[in-house]
Chain A
């Protein structure tokens, strides 16, 4: 099969000050994380105190969320809150985004789709069987997440993944 590119219409230029703002100077940030003309973007790690505060805040939040009882309202709200915050940031005040590719190779992309479909199929068959002899991924992962520090670390990874998605 010949490799073909999956193309789409070109994306609108990403404005660092958000959609409709009119500002389009890439690489410059205001104090609130926005870009401003004349202000150079600081490299990652240039604000160690701010990064440390954010890191401590994330870990503290994850630690508290990891300690909530399953199926409780606190646990539900603890998951929904970062979702709401990231959703608001993604649509209301998007940060400077990593430009997406104009196209991806169809063959290369299909390998990913095949693997993801296989994962879903394997999971679906396990869920349907609902037997200890055919455990689902959730059944396998939940015991690993049982220790509080491990669950806390997993939540931190989940939060960082959410931020990485917003940056895309």
Chain B
């Protein structure tokens, strides 16, 4: 397996883990929050809301403007 393939598998593994966490969070049979729940929690303070919105804006700039 090449280094490139290992890198790609690593990305897939982490993204798959994030998807699994979201699925587990939606089942409500455990204490794992969903993405929306913990983002909502992080955005309770005004600074948290601003940081999350800036992160969203950065994603748009990174992938769609450059």
Contact = CB atoms under 8 A, between A and B. Distances in A.
Contact of A8 (B10, B25, B41, B65): B41
A168 B56 CA distance: 13
Interface in B25-66: 25, 30-33, 35-41, 43-45, 49, 52-53, 56-57, 59-66
Contacts of A122: 7, 10-11, 14
Contacts of B53: 83, 86-87, 90, 162, 165-166
A79 B14 contact: no
Interface residues of B, number: 40
A100 B11 contact: no
Interface in B8-30: 8, 10-11, 14-15, 17-18, 21, 25, 30
A100 B57 contact: no
Contacts of A118: 14, 17
Given A65-B64, A137-B11, A101 B31 contact: no
B18 A115 contact: yes
Interface string A43-57: 000000000000000
B29 to A, nearest CB: 12
B31 A76 contact: no
A100 B44 contact: yes
Interface residues of A, number: 57
B4 A132 contact: yes
A109 B38 contact: yes
A100 B40 contact: yes
Contact of A112 (B38, B49, B52): B38
A64 B61 CA distance: 15
B33 A119 contact: no
Interface of A: 3, 6, 8, 11, 65-66, 68, 70-71, 75-76, 78-80, 82-83, 86-87, 90, 98-101, 103-105, 107-109, 111-112, 115-116, 118-119, 122, 126, 132-135, 137-138, 140-142, 145, 151, 154-155, 158, 161-162, 164-166, 168
**The 10 nearest A-B residue pairs measured at CB:** A105-B31, A100-B40, A108-B32, A83-B57, A75-B65, A133-B3, A108-B31, A168-B40, A104-B33, A79-B65
